[in-house]
Amino acid sequence: MVERTPRKNQVSLSPAQREAVEHGEGPLLVGAGAGSGKTRTLTQRIIHLIRKGVRPDHILAITFTNKAADEIKRRIYAELPPHLTKSLPFLGTFHSFGARILREEGKTLSRTPSFTIFDNNDSLQLLKRVLKKLDMNATRHPPAKVAKKIGRIKTECANPADLEEEDRIIFAAYENSLRQQNAFDFDDLIEKPVRLFGSDAATLEKHRSRYSYVLVDEFQDVNRAEYLLVKLLSGKHRNLNVVGDDNQSIYGFRGADFRNFLDFEKDWPETKVINLGENYRSSGAIVRASYGVIKNNKFQRPKELWTPNEEGAPIRVVAAETPEDEAELVVKELSKYLYIGGTNAIAGSAILYRTNAQSRALESALSLAGISYDIYGGLKFYERKEVKDIVSAVRYGTNPSDEVSLDRLKKSFRKATAEELASKLPLLGKELALMELIGFFIKTTDYQHYLAEKFENTEERLENVRELLNFAGTFESAAEFLERITLLQDTDRPQRGVPGKGIKLMTIHLAKGLEFDRVFLVGAAEGLLPHQRSLKSLEEVEEERRLMYVAMTRAKKELVISFYGLASRFLYEIPPELILLKQSDDEDEVYI
């Protein structure tokens, strides 16, 4: 329930924002640069339509998060008088809108309105049961990989006939099992309405006639199924209004296709295009530095980015020697701010990184320094399954009385594998060095295959494994390794503090849409940003550059970028006059 707040005067708009807000009929594409007031523009567009006489319930507004939808609702309530908000536009995510359609049309798809929505874990468990029932070899058909193939068919609205024969059999059995259980999986919430609308003109017309305007936020992140859904609904009135920034398209791994944004006029040739290039968020130095990076992308819409804000501090680039060295440098900087301004000085700060595995060194350094921190959108490093599995093996190998660790191994692995670990680890723990003991565990469990069979994010989990191995390699004994981990975790617990009061740690992907006074971007090195997995094509490298741009534009006042090893190619794209370079062992900083 969104609470009504007192009505405010009309929000001031820039000329470009006002042009977008007051656009008349027909398709509209708003290219909204970072910090350019995208949400304000979208909200004011909805308010303008309602003031103009469009019935609120004839407006369909799609956002990518429920939080964004709630924020827009609050702003609408704040500005419009009660008699204009007796009904509201549909404001929600693609999936919530798809679920609404399926509640109404489920009978056509052999479901009742009380159907269950399976999340990814539910779907994976169902798929395992299907494979077992079909007597399919799990080694030949790893459930996580099969799930990925099924997901691709649905998010791209592709033809299941394109699958290999055995995969088609699995797909058909999986779909039948969903029907039998009166359930849809998460991808069905978009794909099934699209298939239904494409095959049933009457049903399409029924839903199409309900909405005279369709607005979509973060349009650069829609996948093919999502685009087809709004395209079908807008095909008659053609009032499809989309807002987004192709330079912030960073979800290609989820199926997002920013070509929907770049090629919008191909489907909608009469489109009005309006660019919002004025950044209200960041300092002049940050805007110019980030533009210096992103302008090197070939696949993007032409645009200019600028800000009326003061130039502010230069971009500080710090060269470190190791992840631990880099983490220590960040902690030293934070300690200065804490000394000057107390805990409030870091509450508006964030540390951003490319992969979750990078949090390990940072968490260690922050914990030992007694600095409160909050991990956003993920588990702390030593709470991640793959890390706990390995640590449990080492613990049991050095202490056969540790029944908690033994229980974990028994629950994680098949009976024969668990029994082998239980019988051999205590003996080998006395004979083998730490890295050899871990090596035995990984080989015995075929751990890489184990992760691939059970999880879709295999590579991310393997990165955590590699990071743990790198850390373990710095210890001479298992006892020292385990003691350090335990001390870190014990030290960390009281330092977590009040949520929201510590430094924020998160991946760049999770930081999208957020802003902070001060940002530390760590790991700006070749192999991490751009990531080594993303060097196969120009398109992949350009998505990595967009990640760099997103990270830089989260900062409002200060931006510190650090790296170890070989500096990222993206650092050389920042205008040198905007950079202040510091070596990890330098007392002074110098311009380059």
Residues annotated as catalytic (active site), given as ranges: 38-39, 217-218, 248, 554
506 CA to centre of own chain: 10
Residue 317 · residue 580 · CB < 8 Å: yes
Angle, vertex CA 292, rays to CA 286 and CA 294, nearest 5 = 100
What pairing do the DSSP bridges indicate for beta strands 579-583 and 590-591?
antiparallel
CA distance 35 to 550: 11
Q: Which residue, among 21, 559, 406, has the nearest Cα to 241 in the 3D structure?
A: 21
**Residue 213 β-bridge partners:** 59
3-state secondary structure 353-386: ECCHHHHHHHHHHHHHHCCCEEECCCCCHHHCHH
Residue 118 · residue 183 · CB < 8 Å: yes
Residue 32 · residue 281 · CB < 8 Å: no
Residue 488 · residue 532 · CB < 8 Å: no
362 CA to centre of own chain: 20
The encoded tokens of residue 540 equal: 């992949």
Quote the radius of gyration of the chain (alpha carbons, Å): 26
CA distance 426 to 409: 13
The DSSP H or E segment spanning 118 is strand 116-118
Angstrom CA distances, 278 to 218, 264, 293, 441, stand at 18, 22, 17, 55
The encoded tokens of residue 59 equal: 């407006």
CA distance 159 to 291: 40
CA distance 194 to 248: 26
The encoded tokens of residue 18 equal: 């006002």
**Residue 90 β-bridge partners:** 60
In the 8-state DSSP scheme, what is residue 28?
Answer: E
In the 8-state DSSP scheme, what is residue 270?
Answer: T
Strand runs labelled E in 128-229: 183-185, 213-216
| The dihedral sign for the CA sequence 60, 61, 66, 67 | negative
